[in-house]
Amino acid sequence: EIRQRHKLIDSAIKQQRQDSDAALLQGATVNDVDLTSLQIPKVPFSPILIIVPVTLVENWEKELRLWGHFAVSTYVGPDKALMLNRVQMGKNDILLCPKSRIM
């Protein structure tokens, strides 16, 4: 599933580069590849459970939101059931869970 997503992203980048080259040949000015403008289809994706020390939950959440393209839920606080439900329904890709909830 992850390999399939990477292939789709690579294909979309290649297509955008071809479009940019064609526009340049016609005299247009084209910026470098802008990944946010790519039309990348969603690939069926299984949710991921990441178990971390309770002191690192917020840091992991911040980093995943900063560097990833994931919808992240955390299994802490009063909304635990809601967050778990969001992952089960496919609305979130990653569930961060403190190690203390598992043991």
Q: Are residues 9 and 36 in the same domain?
A: yes
Number of domains within the chain? 2
**Quick one: 96 exposed, middle or buried, by C-beta within 10 A (0-12, 13-18, 19+)?**
buried
Are 57 and 89 in the same domain? Answer: yes
pLDDT at 29 over 70: no
Q: What is the pTM of this model?
A: 0.51
- CA–CA gap between residue 52 and residue 22 (Å, rounded): 48
Q: Same domain for 24 and 50?
A: no
Do 65 and 35 fall within a single domain? Answer: no
Top-confidence residue, 71 or 35: 71
Q: Are residues 57 and 97 in the same domain?
A: yes
Q: Where are the beta strands (DSSP E) in 1-103?
A: 48-52, 72-74, 94-98
**35 and 53 within one domain:** no
Q: In terms of residue numbers, what domain contains 4?
A: 1-44
Residues 29 and 72 in one domain: no
- Confidence class of residue 53 from pLDDT cuts 50, 70 and 90? very high
* Lookup: tokens for 55: 């002191």
Q: Is 70 exceeded by the pLDDT of residue 44?
A: no
Task: Find the helix or strand (DSSP H, E) in which 72 lies.
Answer: strand 72-74
What pLDDT, on a 0 to 100 scale, did the predictor assign at position 59? 93
Structure-model confidence comparison of residues 96 and 24, the more confident one: 96
